[in-house]
Structure 1
């Protein structure tokens, strides 16, 4: 169960967490800020520590307690709103889900890393529709050379919400992988993200 919870928080976007909190509060018939302030006063919650103590105490219902645990883990996992180091596919996946959430057009980013997996730069490579235009690997490797990176990964979003890779996605990923071997720059992963989920080519054994 603990492992499931640990995995679960990584797969929730900020939008999902806020939406879930709203549902929890509405179940308590808290629908505006005045009612929320009354709830805080009734439970003697004056600061964040008081809130955490309430959520871990016997008076708090299970759903709010679990939400608080997920929220705290999310805060600890983020560093000033930026991803500084490539640690795991899950960490990168939910960071990128939030980064590209709400975009109406497809965007493709190159994320460039040094030899210690620290991110050097995030570069917007393409904006439009991947099905109607070809992203050439040279557009990605041009910046890899400029930044003198040791490795990189790419990410693009699917505004439709379906993270399943298209034939074009598979084709460009294969081209990037082949080029990376020739260039001697490690291609870490390709992510497809939507507003609420992500797909990692490496996790899905497509890379």
Structure 2
């Protein structure tokens, strides 16, 4: 049995047919894929979303279990306080964490002199540009956590990881402002889908 060839629709339909007849299962599947284009998006569904799929309480509970399963399957082990991190570790972790986000978000990961994690925070949500993302807010947190270094991460919902001119301009501003405070910007990582780009590895950010 080769399950790899099953489409997302087929997988969800097969699961629902354990509870429903095929016709009703197909109806729920069609409603689901009218709202989103990937089975992985199930991890972001809540009760309000499920109400649009079905009014059946038992089926809603079953779907909530699937949502919870999807969330737990998608998660990589969290960044632990004190964990020594590199761009690769943070890039892989954040690409899993942010892969399916529909809005742009920006996170800061704050490190000590040994690159051990002091804190991580989501700082901005929405369209990110120089007007909305001010270095002050990012560096204020660096001072709060007494960080010696920091890495910023944001996603491109389009799935493309190529940095935009705004991304590059923001990176250079963050680097310059950090240098004034003696807090080094180690990297700016862009996540797109399940991949990521490190501006340091691409030589866009040079110390």
State the TM-score, normalized to the length of structure 1. Answer: 0.61
* In the alignment, structure 1 residue 23 sits paired with structure 2 residue 4: yes
Distance in structure 2 (CA, Å) of the matches to 1:181 and 1:133? 21
Partner of 2:87: 89
Partner of 1:195: 193
Partner of 1:142: 140
Matching of residues 62-141 of structure 1 within 5 Å: 81-84=77-80, 85-131=83-129, 133-141=131-139
The unaligned stretches of length 5 or more in structure 1 are 1-20, 34-77
Choose between structure 1 and 2 for higher RCO, CA contacts under 8 A separated by at least 6 residues: 1
Segments of 4+ moved more than 6 angstroms: none
Distance in structure 2 (CA, Å) of the matches to 1:141 and 1:86? 21
Distance 1:93 1:22, change over 3 A: farther
Distance 1:148 1:87, change over 3 A: closer
Residues paired across the two proteins, number: 139
Partner of 2:66: none
Distance in structure 2 (CA, Å) of the matches to 1:22 and 1:82? 29
Distance in structure 2 (CA, Å) of the matches to 1:140 and 1:133? 14
Contact 1:109/1:155 (<8 A) preserved: yes
State the TM-score, normalized to the length of structure 2. Answer: 0.61
The unaligned stretches of length 5 or more in structure 2 are 16-75
Root mean square deviation of aligned Cα: 2.5
Q: Secondary structure at the match of 2:85?
A: coil
Structure 1, residues 23-78: CA drift from partner, whole Å, max 9, x if none? Answer: 17x6xxxx778xxxxxxxxxxxxxxxxxxxxxxxxxxxxxxxxxxxxxxxxxxxx6
Q: Secondary structure at the match of 2:176?
A: helix
